[in-house]
Amino acid sequence: MLLVSSRSACVLWASVVCSLSLGLVTTGCSGGGSSSGGSASTAAATNSSTPGATTSGTTAPAAPAPSPIATQPVAGTWYKGDLHSHSATHSDDARRQLGDDIATTVRVAEKTGLDFLAGTDHRTNALLTDTNFSSQTMVLLPGMEWGGSMHAGAIGFTSPIPVSSTSSGAALAPEIDAIVSTVQSQGGIFVLNHPCEDGKLWVADIQNFDAIEVWNGPYSMRDWTPLTQQDLDDKAAGLGLTAAGVAPNPHMVAAITEQRGGPQLQALAFYESYLNSGRRVAAVGGGDRHMLLPQGSPTTRVYAATRDRKGILDGIRQGRTYISRKPSGPLVDFRADKDGDGAFESMIGDEVTAGTPAEFRIVIEGAPGGRVDVIKNSVVIRSEPIVGNNFVLTFSDVPATGDWYRLDVFELIDPRVQQSTGLILRAAQASGKDWAVLLALFTTIRRSALDFTYGTLLPTLLLPEEVDKVTNASLKDPGYCRGAITSPIYTSR
C-alpha cells in the first residue's frame, strides 16, 4: 500500500492539493473509464447487492436471479469487500498519515459500495467494543492486523486475543498456532498479510491459517527489490529460528528461490507452494487503506450462503474467493463439470474427480481485450485473449490426484495512457520512493479525481479507470494490468 510516511511527504501532499485545487496540475489521460469500466461496474452492483443496501446514498436494487449460463452449485451470492483497512482512531501510522477516524473510515467503504469490511487496526482489540465501528449497509468484521515482524489479519473473533507473539526460536510457531486456534474457535479467520513484503517475511512455519493475502494495495505502485536468501536468513536469525535449529517456512524458501520479482508476485509463489503441498487455503486481497484511496483497491469477492459475518467468513474458509482490481473490476465465474452431466456444479473452492475427464468453463465480464491464464499446479496451461465484454471459454483436462486449477485475469491498458501516464508513473516507480510515486500520480490526473464529499480529513482519491489500471500494471506483461486472481478448483484426494 502506498503510504505517506514522513512530514516532508505530508508537506508535498499539501502542496499538490493546493495545485490541484487551483487547476494547475496537468492531465495525462482522459477522465473517463475504459469500455469495460461501465459494464463491469453495473454487473458488480447487480451481482453483489442486497435489498436495502445503499451505495452513494441510493437504494441498491435487489440481486437478480443467477445468469442462465451459471448452474449454482450451492445457494449463495458473490459479495464484494475489503479484508484490510486501518483508521487513525486505532492505528498510529494512519494517524501520522492524516488518515480518518473509524466512523469516517466505515462511511468511505459504504460510499464505495462494498458489502463487507474488516477493520484491521494494528495490534489492538479495540474494534470489539468501539461503537463507532457500525454500519447499516455493510457486514462489519471486527479484527486487527496482528503481529510485529510478521503481519496477519485476525478477523471475526469475538473476544480479545494476544495482539502479537512474545516467543522466539522453537517456541514461536507453536505460540502463533495457539493464537490461530483461539481466533478460529471464536468463528474467526487468520490471514497471512503481505507475506513477502520486505521486513515482514512469514518465516514462521505455522499450520492452520485460513488465507493468504496475495494482492495488497495497487499491484504496481512502485518497484521493489526482489528478496534474496540473505533476507530470509536475516529474518530467521532475528526471530531466533537459526540459533534454535528451526528451519524457516519451506514455502517462503520456495517463494524466495523462485524469484518472480517483487512482493506481490512472490506472494503468489508463496501461496502456490502451499497449494502444491496439498494445503487448501483461500487467496484474498487487501486494500490496506490508511488514507487517500477508498477501500476495495483491490476487492475481495466471497461467495457466501448468507450476507452476514458467518456467511462471509465461511465462504473464505471454503476457498470461494477471488480478487478483482476494484469493486467495478472484472467479474469472473470459473466452474467445472466433474461428472459429465452438462451442469457446471463445481465452482471455485470445490473439487473435480481425479482420473476422470472434466470440462471447465470460464466466464469473464468486463475485461475486453485482456487475457486469461489458466494455471495448473503453478504452470500456465492455457493463455487466451479475452474477446468481447462477455467472454466464455471451455476446455477439458484429466486431473490427477493433488492437481489444482486457478485463473489470472489481465486487463488491457489503453496504449495512449501507457505512453503518457504510464511512462511518468513508471519512472517514479523505478525510484522506489513513495513520495516520487505520489507526486507522479498527482501530476497525471484531473483535479476532479479528488472527491471532497466523503467527509475525510484529506480528499478521497478516485482514480480514473485507466490511471487505476496503470497503478496495477503487470510489469512482466507490458500493456496489461492485473484484473483478477482466483482461488483454485481442486482435485479430489
Residue 154 contacts residue 146 (beta carbons within 8 Å): yes
Mean pLDDT on 424-450: 77
Contact by Cβ (8 Å): 347, 303: yes
Percentage of the chain modeled with pLDDT above 90: 62
33-37, 146-150, 198-202, 217-221: range with lowest mean pLDDT: 33-37
The overall average pLDDT reported for the chain is: 84
pLDDT at res. 452: 87
- Say if residues 222 and 277 touch (Cβ distance below 8 Å): no
What's the average model confidence in pLDDT over 258-266? 82
Q: Where are the beta strands (DSSP E) in 220-337?
A: 282-286, 299-304, 321-324, 331-337
Q: Is the pLDDT of residue 31 over 70?
A: no
Selection from 303, 295, 370, 292 nearest residue 330 by Cα? 370
pLDDT band at 73 (very low <50, low <70, confident <90, very high): low
- For every residue of 175-205, DSSP letters joined together read HHHHHHHHHHHTT-EEEE-STTSTT----S-
Give the mean pLDDT of 308-312: 97
**Mean pLDDT, range 457-461, rounded to an integer:** 89
Indicate if the pLDDT at residue 354 is higher than 70: yes
The model's pLDDT over 88-134, given as tens digits with 9 standing for 90+, comes to 998 888 888 888 999 999 999 999 999 999 999 999 999 999 999 99
Judge whether residue 469 has pLDDT over 80: yes
CA dihedral 261, 263, 266, 270 (to 10 degrees): 170
**How confident is the model over 457-477, as a mean pLDDT?**
88
pLDDT interval class at 67 (50, 70, 90):
very low
Give the residue, 93 or 149, on which the prediction is more confident: 149
Residue with cell 459494464: 39
